[in-house]
Amino acid sequence: MNFDAYTDLSVVTAVDLVNTLDVETGLDVLTEPDHLAKFLDDHVDSYDRPLTAVDVADVRHLRERLRLAFTLGSIDTVIDLLNDLLAESSALPQLTDHDGVWHFHFTPPESSLVAHMAAEAAMGLASVIREHGLERLRVCAASGCARVFVDTSRNRSRRYCNPDICGNRTNVAAFRARQRAAEASD
Ligand SMILES: [Zn+2]
Ligand SMILES: [Zn+2]
């Protein structure tokens, strides 16, 4: 499954943003302007500095709402949420080549950081749903893990945020449980 490169970037950013809070343990790696700067350096092609505590609070609130796109499970509710985010951010598509490559920005340059991030994330997630369905937006099936991911597998069968880590851990746990059950019945 291929998204175009730009959709892909906004989808990856939305997923990575949601996963900056581990809702199972409460561990949050986005609590300071410096953390936000690091996240943006890795995910966004431009942003205004300096970042403030208000930016952090706004982005954390956005993160909470974006998580719902993966957990609500109701297409109508998720579409309402994404459309609300687009409306609130006054999304306005603009074609730009500020970095030498033609691409869309979904908000004008004077928009706030959180409006820019909300519009990008909502456009990315809405594109996935439109082309591939809401069931592509998933929460990891491993116990103790609530990371989100987009299932890009051909047969929509991916169950874990990271098959090598959460998938393996789950398989090992199931194997041990079967062994214990076999021993108990000996
Ligand atoms: Zn750009
Ligand atoms: Zn996981």
User: Separation of 50 CA from ligand 2 center, angstroms?
Assistant: 33
pLDDT tens digits, 137-186: 999 999 999 999 999 888 888 999 998 899 888 888 888 888 888 888 77
> Domain residues of the chain, as ranges?
5-139
Per residue in 78-122, pLDDT (tens digit) is 999 999 999 999 999 999 998 898 988 999 989 999 999 999 999
Q: What's the CATH class of domain 5-139?
A: mainly alpha
| Cis status of the peptide bond prior to 108, with omega within 30 of 0 | no
Tracing tokens 């199931």 back to the chain, one arrives at 174
pTM, entire model = 0.90
Residue 141 CA to ligand 2 centre (angstroms): 7
Q: In Å, how far from its chain's centre is CA 171?
A: 25
What tokens appear for 14 in the block? 């939305």
Rounded distance from Cα 103 to ligand 1 centre (Å): 7
User: Phi and psi (nearest 5°) for 157?
Assistant: -115, 0
